[in-house]
C-alpha cells in the first residue's frame, strides 16, 4: 500500500468520525449546528488528524483512541479557522473554495459555532472511550491540548499576528508568531498521540517536539509563499495597497530565502526521523507525510 492510499484511508476515516459526532448533537436544525457542520465538514486536508494516526501507528496506539484524539484536533482546528476568517480578524471571504462560515451564516452564529466546536473537542476527549489510556494520561492529554490553544499557544499567536500590522517585524518576531499560531497545534497533535501510548521517554518526546516544530514552521512559511504570490497578483490588478502580504517570510526575506528556510526545516525533520529509524521505529509513512506537508503545492 502506497502513502496516497494510507492518507486517503485516514482522511476518509476522520471525515466519517466527524460527521458521526456532529450528527449526534441535539438541535440538528438550528443555525448553530448547521454552521458548526459547515465550518468543519466543508473541505479540509485533515493533515493534523493524519499526523495523529501515523504517530499512533509508530507507537502502537489503539485506533479507537486515535479516532478520539483526531476528532478533538480537527474540531479545534476548524474552530480556529472559522474565527480567523471573521471580519474582525483576517476578514477572509473564502475558505477551502467556499464562502467563509460568517458569510454564509453571519458573524454572531460563526462566533458561537467556534465556541461550541472548541467545547465539543474537550467533551469528546473527556467522555469518549480511549482504550489503553489511563485517567491520569487522559488528563495529561486534555491539559496538553488546552495549553497549546489558549493564552500560552494558538490564541497568543493570533494576538501577536493581529498586532504585527502596527510595525514591521524582524524575522525572529515572525517566527515566534508562527510557532504559537501554527506549530503548537501540530506539536500537540503529535504529543497527544504519543501520550496515549504505552511508551514514555523525555528524550523521545523532545525529538517529537523538534520534529513537529520543524514541520509546523515549514508549513506556515509555505502558506506565506502561497498567499504572497496570490496577493501579489491581486495587488497588480488593484491600485489599493494589500497589507496582507507584509510581515510574512517572503516579504521580509524574499521567496528564495523563504524556500531555503523550508529546506533547512525539512532536513531537520528528516534528520530526526533517521534517529527514530536507528531506534527501530517504523517511520516510512511519517517520512511520506513530512514530504507531503512540506512539499505540497497548496
Q: pLDDT of 147-187, one tens digit each?
A: 999 999 999 999 998 887 666 778 889 999 999 999 999 99
Question: What are 196's three cell numbers?
Answer: 496515549
Residue 141's pLDDT band, with cuts at 50, 70 and 90, is very high
User: Average of pLDDT values for 103-112?
Assistant: 97
Query: What local confidence, expressed as pLDDT, does residue 73 receive?
Result: 98
Query: What local confidence, expressed as pLDDT, does residue 229 receive?
Result: 79
- State the average pLDDT for the chain: 91
Residue 111's pLDDT band, with cuts at 50, 70 and 90, is very high
Q: Residue 239: is its pLDDT beyond 50?
A: no
Q: Can you tell me the distance from the alpha carbon of 55 to that of 92, in angstroms, rounded to the nearest whole number?
A: 33
Question: What are 82's three cell numbers?
Answer: 472559522
Q: Which residues on adjacent β-strands are paired with residue 99?
A: 94
Query: What local confidence, expressed as pLDDT, does residue 261 receive?
Result: 94
Question: What are 293's three cell numbers?
Answer: 506537508
User: Average of pLDDT values for 187-216?
Assistant: 95
Regarding beta strands 98-99 and 94-95, do their DSSP bridges make them parallel or antiparallel, or are they unpaired?
A: antiparallel
- Architecture of the structural domain at 3-294: Orthogonal Bundle (1.10)
Query: What local confidence, expressed as pLDDT, does residue 241 receive?
Result: 45
pLDDT per residue over 9-62, tens digit each?
999 999 999 999 999 999 999 999 999 999 999 988 999 999 999 999 999 999
Query: What local confidence, expressed as pLDDT, does residue 227 receive?
Result: 80
CB 96 within 8 A of CB 104: no
Query: What local confidence, expressed as pLDDT, does residue 293 receive?
Result: 82
Residue 4's pLDDT band, with cuts at 50, 70 and 90, is confident
Residue 107's pLDDT band, with cuts at 50, 70 and 90, is very high
Q: Can you tell me the distance from the alpha carbon of 175 to that of 166, in angstroms, rounded to the nearest whole number?
A: 17
- Candidates 280, 274, 250; CA nearest to 262 is 250
pLDDT per residue over 22-35, tens digit each?
999 999 999 999 99
Q: Residue 237: is its pLDDT beyond 50?
A: no
Q: pTM here?
A: 0.93
Query: What local confidence, expressed as pLDDT, does residue 84 receive?
Result: 95
Q: Residue 240: is its pLDDT beyond 60?
A: no
Query: What local confidence, expressed as pLDDT, does residue 200 receive?
Result: 87
Per residue, the 3-state secondary structure of the chain, as one string, reads CCHHHHHHHHHHHHHHHHHHHHHCCCCCCCHHHHHHHHHHHCCCCCHHHHHHHHHHHHCCCCHHHHHHHHHHHHHHHHHHHHHHCCCCCCCCCEECCEECHHHHHCHHHHHHHHHHHHHHHHHHHHHCCCCCCCHHHHHHHHHHHHHHHCCCCHHHHHHHHHHHHHCCCCHHHHHHHHHHHHHHHHHHHHHHHHHCCCCCCHHHHHHHHHHHHHHHHHHHHHHHHHHHHHHHHHHHHCCCCCHHHCCCHHHHHCHHHHHHHHHHHHHHHHHHHHHHHHCCCCCHHHHHHHHHHHCCCC
pLDDT per residue over 63-104, tens digit each?
999 999 999 999 999 999 999 999 999 899 999 889 999 999
Q: Can you tell me the distance from the alpha carbon of 60 to that of 232, in angstroms, rounded to the nearest whole number?
A: 46
Return the half-sphere exposure (C-beta side, CA atoms, 13 A cut-off) of residue 16.
7
Amino acid at each position: 500500500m502506497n502513502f496516497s492510499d494510507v492518507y486517503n484511508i485516514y482522511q476518509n476515516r476522520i471525515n466519517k468520525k466527524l460527521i458521526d459526532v456532529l450528527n449526534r448533537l441535539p438541535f440538528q436544525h438550528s443555525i448553530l449546528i448547521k454552521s458548526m457542520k459547515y465550518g468543519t465538514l466543508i473541505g479540509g486536508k485533515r493533515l493534523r488528524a493524519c499526523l495523529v494516526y501515523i504517530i499512533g501507528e509508530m507507537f502502537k496506539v489503539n485506533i479507537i483512541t486515535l479516532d478520539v484524539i483526531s476528532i478533538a484536533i480537527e474540531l479545534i482546528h476548524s474552530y480556529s479557522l472559522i474565527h480567523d476568517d471573521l471580519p474582525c480578524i483576517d476578514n477572509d471571504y473564502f475558505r477551502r473554495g467556499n464562502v467563509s462560515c460568517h458569510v454564509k451564516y453571519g458573524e454572531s452564529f460563526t462566533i458561537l459555532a467556534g465556541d461550541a466546536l472548541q467545547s465539543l473537542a474537550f467533551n469528546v476527549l473527556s467522555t469518549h472511550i480511549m482504550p489503553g489510556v489511563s485517567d491520569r494520561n487522559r488528563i495529561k492529554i486534555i491539559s496538553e491540548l488546552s495549553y497549546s490553544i489558549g493564552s500560552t499557544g494558538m490564541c497568543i499567536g493570533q494576538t501577536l499576528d493581529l498586532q504585527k500590522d502596527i510595525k514591521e517585524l524582524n524575522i525572529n518576531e515572525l517566527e515566534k508568531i508562527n510557532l504559537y499560531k501554527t506549530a503548537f497545534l501540530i506539536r500537540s497533535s503529535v504529543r497527544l498521540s504519543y501520550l496515549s501510548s504505552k511508551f514514555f521517554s523525555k528524550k523521545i518526546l523532545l525529538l517529537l517536539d523538534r520534529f513537529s516544530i520543524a514541520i509546523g514552521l515549514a508549513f506556515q512559511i509555505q502558506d506565506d509563499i502561497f498567499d504572497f504570490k496570490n496577493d501579489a497578483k491581486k495587488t497588480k490588478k488593484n491600485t489599493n495597497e494589500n497589507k496582507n502580504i507584509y510581515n510574512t517570510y517572503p516579504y521580509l526575506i524574499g521567496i528564495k530565502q523563504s524556500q531555503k528556510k523550508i529546506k533547512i526545516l525539512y532536513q531537520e525533520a528528516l534528520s530526526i526521523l533517521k534517529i527514530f529509524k536507528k531506534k527501530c521505529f517504523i517511520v516510512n509513512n511519517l517520512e511520506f507525510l513530512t514530504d507531503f506537508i512540506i512539499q505540497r503545492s497548496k
